[in-house]
Amino acid sequence: MHIWGVSPTFGRVDKTLTPEFEENIIQDHREDGYWVDSFDVNGSGLPDIIGYGLNSGELTWFENPNASHLAPKEWTARKIAQVDEPVGMYHAPIAGTAYEDIVICSQYGGTMDTIDTEGGKLHWYQNPLGNGGTVDDVWVKRYIGKAAGMHRVVVGRFTQTEELEVMGWPICGQPGNTHSAIKVKLWQKPEDILNASMWNETLITETYFHVVHDLAMRKYRATTGDLRDSLIVASEEGLTWVYFDEGWNFKHIADGVPSSTECGYWGCQNVDVGQIGEDPFAFIATSGPFHGNVAMVYIKQRGGLGSIEGAEWKEYTLDVYGNNGLPIRDGNGDKHHVLCADMDGDGDDEILFSLRDQGVVYFKIDDATCGEFLQYHTSTASAARATVGDFNGDGSLDYATMGYGVKDYYEAEDVQLNVYYNSFVTPSKKRLFNTQENVAGTIQLSCTKDSEVQVDIFPDRKALYQYLITIYHFRHTIAYVPALSYLSKDYIKRGTMIKVISGYVQVTHQANTTPETIGNTCTPQGSLNLTILSDDEKILAVQETVLMIFQPDFDPTTEDFPIVRNAGQVNESIEFQEVSGLKEFAFKPYSDSMSFCNMTGFTIRKRRFKLCHIQFWLADRGVDCGIHDHSDLNAQKTFCEIHACMINGTGSGAMYRSREPYVIPIGQIDREKMKKIVVPSGYEHGPLWNWDENGRPLRREDGSVVYRAHAWIAGDGDPLNKHQSMDFWTAFELNPIIVDSSL
């Protein structure tokens, strides 16, 4: 057993977070090695490991011993099947049970020069536990289809969102012609999946792609409401986005290693997509050319949060391994696989490259704005591929590797299957800045330096809810909902308001109706109703989403709103009593009288990344809250401000915004010429800032957001009604990084 944690080769580093991993050898001196993957095979709650080589063809799953304290310390090897030259695999619940099955391509042909024209066969193996069997029972093999030279396979929902589909990707199209175009095929499930002789086959393309080596599947169009899966493909073409929308689309992203007058390879060979902060598609990690030696990353410069549509990318070379810093073009380079994962739990993904004779190289983001990364060598055993998972259940991600051992190509001296336990980020080491423990799956409250409540969300795999405060009959709850999960029915009640802070939701108002996609801003031209209109609504988080839920103790769709005539009626969460140093939660005059009041609020963070600041406001009849444009804020303090109106008590309280997109001195603004955006009770307004063609906030050179002049001006109300209510609204000061008004 060894501890790996080598000093970084360049850049700055926090020594307390130097990555260290504890090596555990599952198998050594293997006959061969190529593939490794991980998923929970037996439903124990922890991932098991799948491993195999091309030559021996023994498809094996290794049972995780950490699921039970009664289990043996060794990983138990259980043979699934004997396969003729297995290459790529994928796992998914093909049979429709709670257990995942395996899809694998085989009968490759040995090399690219000798691919088997009758091979490239695709089968799925049914997990026996899914039909009441045991871990020792046979995995039944069933045929799907074939495509000669098949090298990679993915399972998803590409053309629709109901049934799983299988996509097969050969590495080249013809034996003896490594640069020949490949046939990419899609197979759709037959009705009788257990007895069908093969699946329904469709040809996607036979002309576009050459030398395909890897794929990264995500829901790249989810922010537009399209929940179909799509791919970024690494090939001789570089990086290409492949998606279905009334037909197959191929959008070029990057060239990778450029072509050369020399013979050999070019483009990209591996690909995965990484998250920075709230953007799950902030960068693309790749290497090239085919079986090459150049490690690269493409960092998003422009484009929507959680989207790659219309994005612009900047290329950075992370390192070049060997060959005097020049690309290796003969297919004998060291790099074979890349993956992205948040190994240290800070909310940003790291990059792990698998090298056939050097092990795993780990890159940590230092400064994404200029492409600076810290590089570590975290393991040295040969690695053909790697897979990540929490293998010991301590809440931190570990990784496992399979050594490279392929006859007539490259054979490591000792082919090993290893797991590397994360020993530098453990529950005892995960701490908040105020020394409170950072426990995954919780929402924690603490005090900021400004004596306000800081709400820290530490996501796990489940939804999280935390009641905060009740103001004027509205109960405020912060919620975290994981991707592709529904908001709890406990909060789906007619009259409840839902405000998205980060992420996106799809709201289905009635059965069989088209869902409405809602993000943290609405159209710049108007306002958005935040109110749930029916107890039968369904709210699906398209990506992981943070929401503020406002639950009234009355039904605003049928009952009158309460009268707000004073600055009281605030009931705090009992959890606040455990947080020392907080300001009093009470409305206080913002101007000379109680006709315009403000109340302190909350800072909302997720994985220690600031999402927004929230505060509360009151304005009486006829109050002009003052024209401003936030030009006094620097890049560190700038935000994108949205107001959600709880009670429009003055009847016609509204946000007034300059009609001109350019900045006008405040003293020259004519209120009569400003655009009036009426914000009724239960609504929010759209952006008050300027935006670019992608819907992103426009910024000055110093990083501050460019606003149009604006002001909340209360209505005149009913002069004969002395009990006329005040306007009551919540201001959400969103981090500009998470704002996207393109919907």
* pLDDT band at residue 3 using 50, 70 and 90 as cut-offs: very low
Looking at 55-64, 95-104, 568-577, which range is the least confident one?
568-577
* pLDDT band at residue 2 using 50, 70 and 90 as cut-offs: very low
Q: Are 724 and 649 in contact (CB under 8 A)?
A: yes
Q: Are 548 and 601 in contact (CB under 8 A)?
A: no
* pLDDT band at residue 14 using 50, 70 and 90 as cut-offs: very low
Q: Are 690 and 708 in contact (CB under 8 A)?
A: yes
Looking at 38-52, 100-114, 273-287, 444-458, which range is the least confident one?
444-458
**Length of the chain as a residue count:** 743
Rounded (5°) CA angle 80-341-604:
130
pLDDT at 567 over 80: no
Q: Are 628 and 634 in contact (CB under 8 A)?
A: no
* pLDDT band at residue 566 using 50, 70 and 90 as cut-offs: low
> Which pLDDT score, from 0 to 100, does residue 700 have?
81
How is residue 33 written in tokens? 């090695």
> Which pLDDT score, from 0 to 100, does residue 11 have?
32
> Which pLDDT score, from 0 to 100, does residue 661 have?
72
> Which pLDDT score, from 0 to 100, does residue 449 have?
76
Question: Which residues, at least 6 apart from 536, have a Cβ–Cβ distance to it below 8 Å?
Answer: 492, 510, 511
Looking at 62-66, 447-451, 467-471, which range is the least confident one?
447-451
Give the residue extent of every domain in the chain.
442-738
Q: pLDDT by residue (tens digit) across 408-447?
A: 889 999 999 999 999 887 543 333 323 334 467 889 888 8
Looking at 151-155, 210-214, 272-276, 693-697, which range is the least confident one?
693-697
How is residue 22 written in tokens? 């504890």
Looking at 43-57, 120-134, 208-222, 530-544, which range is the least confident one?
530-544
Q: Three-class SS of residue 66? A: helix
User: Which is more confidently placed, 226 or 404?
Assistant: 404
- The architecture of the domain spanning 442-738 is Sandwich (2.60)
State which amino acid sits at residue 177: N
Most confident of 190-194, 368-372, 595-599: 190-194
* Rg of the chain in Å (alpha carbons): 28
Instruction: Compute the mean pLDDT over every residue in the chain, rounded to the nearest whole number.
Output: 87
Looking at 422-431, 518-527, 730-739, which range is the least confident one?
422-431
User: Which H or E run contains 201?
Assistant: strand 200-205
As a dihedral over the C-alpha atoms of residue 672, residue 623, residue 586, residue 598, rounded to 10 degrees, the angle is 30
**In DSSP terms, which residues pair with 60 in a beta bridge?**
51, 79
User: Which H or E run contains 680?
Assistant: none
Quote the CA–CA distance of 255 and 270 in Å, as a whole number. Answer: 13
Q: pLDDT by residue (tens digit) across 646-674?
A: 999 888 999 999 887 777 777 778 888 88
> Which pLDDT score, from 0 to 100, does residue 608 have?
76
* pLDDT band at residue 585 using 50, 70 and 90 as cut-offs: confident
> Which pLDDT score, from 0 to 100, does residue 342 have?
92
> Which pLDDT score, from 0 to 100, does residue 568 have?
58
> Which pLDDT score, from 0 to 100, does residue 430 have?
38
State which amino acid sits at residue 546: V
pLDDT at 16 over 60: no
pLDDT at 69 over 60: no
Q: Are 337 and 356 in contact (CB under 8 A)?
A: no
Question: Within 10 A of 358 (CB to CB), how many other CB atoms are there?
Answer: 18
> Which pLDDT score, from 0 to 100, does residue 539 have?
93
Looking at 25-39, 148-162, 477-491, 700-714, which range is the least confident one?
700-714
Quote the CA–CA distance of 557 and 286 in Å, as a whole number. Answer: 52
